Amino acid sequence: MKVKKPFLEYVQTPQDSSLRLHHNQNAPLCLTKSWHYHPEIEFVCIPEGKGRLYIGNQTFSYENGVLILLNSNIPHTSFDYGYEGEKYEEYVIQVAPTQIELLVRQFTEFAPIKTLLDIAQEGIVLPLKPEDIFFKTRCSALPQATALKKWLIFMEILDELSQADYTILGVASGNNLHPIQAERIQKVFDFIAQNLQKSVSSRAVADLLNLTDTSFCRFFQKHTQKTFKQVLNEYRINHACKLLAFSDKSIEQIAYESGYVNQPFFNRVFKEMQKTSPLAYRRNRQQVK
């Protein structure tokens, strides 16, 4: 895999929880295979299947499923990239390091988990065997669990992982942002998410950060490796993908709700980014639901 500079991904946690859980049972909603990093610790379980991981400057192949634990700011691709098989499933937990450190540093019983997280600064993977039941069973319980129960299950998983024969990848982050820079970029992502249906300009966001338009565009591209317009369109098309897959709204209405003033322009942007039309995307997605 050709190494290029990763972009910063903003992870938004739910209002009722300090960790974010994502259970993906299908092919990804959108086709972007982004090389990215984020400040959050990330745990991933792919319960079955064969594939190859691209993490930092390392690749790692697995045969029967895999667990992945990455500490802050380790560059990686989406984990479905390199997957070989018709059905893809993953459980993803993302949590800010400060949140989990508050817990594991207060109780000596969590010492093995703290050590595990320290080691995960270099990336950890554990290939699964067909007979491995514990991790698959605990991960499958996550989607229906309460916010507190999710934390308890996560601690169980980390405790068991700390005792397993995992592999240390030996990667490094090297992408740490100054807190002020991270806060500014977070404000941009929040603003985009809250104003998808509106006319959004880089000038408006620059004003939010007390920067000139030129200074903001230069700052944003430096830290995300993308222009503001690219990221805005990614947010809007991602939103449209979800509506196309999981609603019966007309394409015209979806275009409007995704921030596009007319359907022809929406169709053109969607096809440029997804390599298919909105109608074909909807038909394909609703067939595999």
Q: What is the pLDDT of residues 232-262, one digit of tens each?
A: 998 888 888 888 887 899 999 999 999 999 9
Mean per-residue pLDDT of the chain:
85
What is residue 14's predicted lDDT score, i.e. its pLDDT? 63
Task: Please say if the pLDDT value at position 9 is more than 90.
Answer: no
Q: How confident is the model at residue 274 (pLDDT cuts 50, 70, 90)?
A: confident
The model's pLDDT over 30-79, given as tens digits with 9 standing for 90+, comes to 444 577 888 889 999 999 999 989 898 788 999 999 999 999 888 888 88
Domains of the chain in start order, with CATH, are 7-168 (2.60.120.280), 179-288 (1.10.10.60)
Rounded-to-integer distance, Cα 117 and Cα 155, Å: 12
**What does the alpha-carbon distance between residue 183 and residue 109 come to, in Å, rounded to a whole number?**
33
**Among the listed residues 84, 88, 43, 83, the one whose alpha carbon sits nearest the alpha carbon of residue 67:** 43
Mapped onto helix, strand or coil, the DSSP state of residue 196 is coil
Residues 209-240: tens digit of each pLDDT: 999 999 999 988 887 778 899 889 988 888 88
Query: Which is higher by pLDDT, 264 or 108?
Result: 264
pLDDT at 289: 46
What one-character-per-residue DSSP string does the chain give? ------EEPP-PPPTT-SEEEEEE-SS-SS-----EE-SSEEEEEE-S-EEEEEETTEEEEESS-EEEEE-TT--B--TTTTEESS---EEEEEE-HHHHHHHHTT-GGGHHHHHHHHHGGG-EEEE--TT--HHHHHHHTTTTS-HHHHHHHHHHHHHHHHTS--EE-------PPPHHHHHHHHHHHHHHHHTTTS---HHHHHHHTT--HHHHHHHHHHHHSS-HHHHHHHHHHHHHHHHHHH----HHHHHHHTT-SSHHHHHHHHHHHHSS-HHHHHHHHHHH-
